[in-house]
Structure 1
Amino acid sequence: MTNLIKMIFYRILKNKAYLFMPIIVTPLVILASISFTMNSSIKANIAVIGMDNSNLSIKDVKVTSIEEQPKFSDLVQDKYDAIVMYENGKYNIETVKGEIFKTALEDALNGKTSSWGNDLKRGTISNLVGFITMFILLVSVMLYRFYYEEKNGINKRILSSTINYIEYSLAHCTIVFTMIFMPTILIILLYSSIWGFNSNVSNLQLILIFFVLCFLGTALGFMISSIVKYDQNATLIGAMLVIITTLLSGSFRPVPQQGLAKIISKMLPQKYILDFPLAIENYKNVNYISIIIILIFSIVLIFLGIIINKRKLETNNI
């Protein structure tokens, strides 16, 4: 399988356009994410009715004074985290972010020290993981182009050599994983060594987090490439799946901890990858079991993809 990996890698090196995404775009996106993460300190964005925002100042909270009651959809669409109505010396808070956030905001409004609840205590690494999760998963889907290019002649290669189909598939997965993981972790570790992150997440834990994320992306991309016959369709379907699930998992913004949104988020692996650095940065117990489950889930996706493609190969429908 080593020779097969070298052969695929050699072909990739000859295609400079193919290298543009992992070698150039990936580091730029990561650096931009780091910059945004390091400069982001706003914990909440609230709209206040019946009070001048100059009379209300809360640390790390953006306060906007408005005259009319905004639509409820403004809360759902994250235009505001909460709407605060000030009447007769009392605050009435409307939010979709759950009771923990509501209580934290009430404490802040009343001059008490606010914990902001578990969903808003994202540190530097938690924010970084949340921001680049979607990008890594999207790139993972797009990097199987050479796998598609070889599909037409795959039966001849497999039948006329000593290479079995499992080795052939794993070679492609190895190449994709390497092209995602290596640039990502090198840039992050380099930044950590030179400037450092304001976080208690160690370099070994950083490696584990991005190893799991990149491995999940590799497995997801291979599974989609196995099911979908054409490259363009696979990219479109994969992009839609990644965008929807990443948004619902709460990678960018915490999802409402109630109702259907909470149930869906708990079914998505992106949530548990994000929960790992979140627990470390908040000095909570780290759930290694969920990380192991994601790794097992990723392995299952790869072998399901191999089984699907093997059956297609047997029926000459690859």
Structure 2
Amino acid sequence: VDVITKFTQQNPIFNRDLHLVGTSSSAAFVAMLAARLAEKPQPQVHIVGVMLISGVVSPIDIYRGAVHMADVRNLLPKEELSLWKRSKLKLLACFRISKMTADLQQCDTQIGECNSNGPGKPPISAFCNQAVGTCDSATLNPMKEKSISYYDVRVPSGQEETKYVLKSWTIDTFLNDQEIQQELGVSKKWEASNDEVYNAYNKYTTYNTTYFVTSLLDKGLKVLVMNGDQDYITNSVGAETWVLNLNGADKYGERLRGVPRTPVEFGGVELGMMRALAYSNQARLAFIEVTNAGHIIPLYKPLELQQGFYAYLSGDLWKSD
């Protein structure tokens, strides 16, 4: 908060219609940051909205959505068996789903303990860490065992890039080049990921940050939630369930539930299926299930996402034709 406040004070040109964007695990932190920036009666930072991409704000909804997705999409693989064994196989698959559902009860209990300080209050890290282990074991381990990617359920683990439209290459060599580092004014080795940072933040996956999103809506800000329909780890089923149950100064979710899902297109190409609604307090809420997209949405729909981002910034996303 202090860093952004100081930056905008020193660079006032950037303190106009500020939007924050969070992807994956950072989505929840962006919601918290935005809420803190907006909570003062006369905020020093002119924040107007957040965009949450492939995020986890209500963890139990995401975990429940994962089990639902595994069930209705038949993600648990069926081995090559003779005809007389297929009935037994079907029973086995049902047992697996039933076990996942049963394990969610403990997952739900531990998420409650993680958040037992109350909405908007600090999480209890020891309970949160325990909940992450329980909930991930219940929902992710069955996918790992069958080598199904939980970033894109259409492919085996590690093969997500075969579905990418935007092809990317590793940038290790470029960012570790001595001349490049000299220009950037850095000297440390660049690494694609940092396990220490990941482990420090991962335990808060089960921290429910719904309170912060609701507070943003109560202050009349824009909130756009976006998840891919092929993503399992931050699935659109759970995300939409959460959005449609948001409740604050207005019944945001209930009212949005009454809005039919409609295709949102840019240049004749579909980004996804959307529900969007503006409220009397100037708040605007939208949920987009991005079609044919896994966890890292920009790599699947780069052009469409860019146009969707522009529509979010301008507010056109909430304007009917």
TM-score normalised according to structure 2 size? 0.30
Q: Give the greater-gyration-radius structure (CA).
A: 1
Higher helix share: 1
Higher strand share: 2
